Amino acid sequence: MRIEIVAVGTELLLGQIADTNSAWLGEHLAAAGIGSHFHQAVGDNHQRMVLAFRTALARSDGIIVCGGLGPTHDDITRDAIAEVMNVPLERDEELVARISSMFTSRGREMPPSNLRQADVPKGATIIPQTKGTAPGLICPLGHKVIYAVPGVPYEMSDMFDRGILPDLQHRMSENEEATGVIASRVLRTWGMSESGLADVLAGHIGELDVPAGNATIAFLASGIEGIKVRVTVRADDPDAATGLLDAEETEIRRILSDAAGDVVFGVDGEAIEHAVARALAVEGLTLGLAESLTGGLASSRLVNVPGASRWFRGSVVCYASEVKFDVLGVPKGPVVSEEAATAMAEGARRVLGADVGLSITGVAGPDPQDDQPPGTVFVGVARPERATEAVGFTVPGDRERVRQYATIAALDLLRRTVGSEGSPPSARIFGR
């Protein structure tokens, strides 16, 4: 069963709001084993809506139309669906009573235009509203179907759960369609480029039985979130899907580990800051930061972790060189250097009373500093009873990208250094 989502609203085409409904619906359809091959967005225009609905019906088994069900003059989804069904709109007296009483119970007078929401294409059934005034619609067309729901996200999701999903599941069982589930898992990596990951995994991807749809692998570069490897599987039931995902995860981790070491730092929602928190927790260590070019970005990521107050002491954001000298005790001299990174890490540890000090200094650009070009980054790690280490590398991009890459590279280095009981940092995404 293939369902196409059609988002309605000129504001979507003009980019005045981003279409989050389609993403939500796509995710929840997939979780129920229902695929989408296409999404569309169309403005509040009768002819173009009719064309979009017909296009969708021609290439999918059904449509979910999102938006255009409100009471105002530009809410014309009902009319466009009626034309596609080739039926008239009929005013539903039960809906008239329900909408009227909703206004009465709130002590408000009902604007007459609100009764437009009681107009229903002949042959359609209603998904009752529980949160607003616009009802949803289930409109059969031969063996296909058009669903219509409001564009307000919480009304949309409520009607999907109550009205659309049960109806879709009923249709699938009538068709005796093997439903199954689509499930995916994301392995989050740092230390290899997107194309490097693809090359290392190329042999494995070639072995996957893609036509049977059992597993597919895709890559997504996500800035400060690292590079994601997404595995998607199709299976008869959730348990089987989990089994397939577990097997794929194990195999991918093995291949990546053989090629480049410990590059997988998390799964699904686990960001680099969670990996850092885990590594510190294992050793029972607290952390203090000294940040120059990242300006507090690394610190603001770390406090996202629930319970960060147990291990995170704080950060000295030493944007001005004098703050490095005066607060952290960095010796006067170039501040974009291994020596400065070392002194900053030790200073952070001492000043903030932390077990581990992590420092980040470098050049965000656009101008060079201390004869170093933009993108130059030095990271230092100071730990108890060990010599402080510092490494330098280069990251690409404009100011913001440099900051993002410097942050994730530094946190990844910390995760590896703490977690590996002190082996020197190895593979990194950008060589120097």
Enumerate residues 118-157 that contact a second copy by CB under 8 A. Answer: 131, 152, 154
Secondary structure element (H or E) that encloses residue 400, with its range? helix 399-419
Which one of residues 106, 174, 209, 421 is an interface residue with a second copy (CB under 8 A)?
106
Which one of residues 61, 83, 262, 291 is an interface residue with a second copy (CB under 8 A)?
291
Neighbours of 165 (CB within 10 A): 17
In the bound complex, what is the minimum distance in angstroms from residue 275's beta carbon to a second copy? 18
Q: Which two tokens stand for residue 201?
A: 């995994």
Map tokens 């009205």 to a residue.
163
Neighbours of 170 (CB within 10 A): 10
CA distance 239 to 72: 46
Neighbours of 379 (CB within 10 A): 29
Q: Restricting to residues 59-78, which ones interact with a second copy according to CB under 8 A?
A: 59, 70-74
Q: Which stretch binds a second copy (CB under 8 A): 5-13, 79-87, 250-258, 338-346?
A: 5-13
What single letter denotes the amino acid at residue 172? M
Q: Which stretch binds a second copy (CB under 8 A): 50-58, 276-284, 383-391, 409-417?
A: 50-58
Cα three-residue angle 377-381-385, rounded to 5 degrees: 160
Which one of residues 107, 142, 203, 269 is an interface residue with a second copy (CB under 8 A)?
107
Q: Which stretch binds a second copy (CB under 8 A): 80-88, 89-97, 252-260, 295-303?
A: 295-303
CA distance 138 to 127: 7
Query: Is residue 294 close enough to count as binding a second copy by CB under 8 A?
Result: yes
Map tokens 């059934």 to a residue.
125
In the bound complex, what is the minimum distance in angstroms from residue 71's beta carbon to a second copy? 4
Answer whether 42's CB lies under 8 Å from 77's CB: no
Shortest CA distance to 74 belongs to which of 52, 41, 46, 99? 46
Q: Which stretch binds a second copy (CB under 8 A): 42-50, 89-97, 381-389, 416-424?
A: 42-50
Closest to a second copy by CB, 186 vs 341, is 186
Query: Is residue 334 close enough to count as binding a second copy by CB under 8 A?
Result: no
- 146-to-65, 66, 183, 282, 388 alpha-carbon distances in Å: 7, 11, 25, 53, 64
Query: Is residue 207 close enough to count as binding a second copy by CB under 8 A?
Result: no
Q: Which stretch binds a second copy (CB under 8 A): 138-146, 296-304, 331-339, 418-426?
A: 296-304
Which one of residues 51, 240, 281, 285 is an interface residue with a second copy (CB under 8 A)?
51
- 245-to-183, 216, 231 alpha-carbon distances in Å: 8, 10, 7
Query: Is residue 323 close enough to count as binding a second copy by CB under 8 A?
Result: yes
Q: Restricting to residues 339-358, which ones interact with a second copy according to CB under 8 A?
A: 351-353
In the bound complex, what is the minimum distance in angstroms from residue 326's beta carbon to a second copy? 7
Query: Is residue 218 close enough to count as binding a second copy by CB under 8 A?
Result: yes
Map tokens 């509040």 to a residue.
44
Q: Rounded to the nearest 10 degrees, how much is the dihedral formed by the CA atoms of 316, 317, 322, 327?
A: -10
Closest to a second copy by CB, 317 vs 390, is 317
User: Exposed, middle or buried by CB within 10 Å (0-12, 13-18, 19+), for 87?
Assistant: middle
Q: Which two tokens stand for residue 17?
A: 């709001």
Number of chain residues interacting with a second copy (CB under 8 A) = 112
Query: Is residue 101 close enough to count as binding a second copy by CB under 8 A?
Result: no
List, in sequence order, every residue forming a beta bridge with 378; answer none if it has no partner: 361, 392
Q: Restricting to residues 244-283, which ones interact with a second copy according to CB under 8 A?
A: none
Which one of residues 100, 157, 184, 214 is an interface residue with a second copy (CB under 8 A)?
184
Q: Which stretch binds a second copy (CB under 8 A): 164-172, 178-186, 254-262, 409-417?
A: 178-186
Closest to a second copy by CB, 107 vs 421, is 107
Which one of residues 244, 318, 345, 409 is an interface residue with a second copy (CB under 8 A)?
318
Closest to a second copy by CB, 25 vs 149, is 25
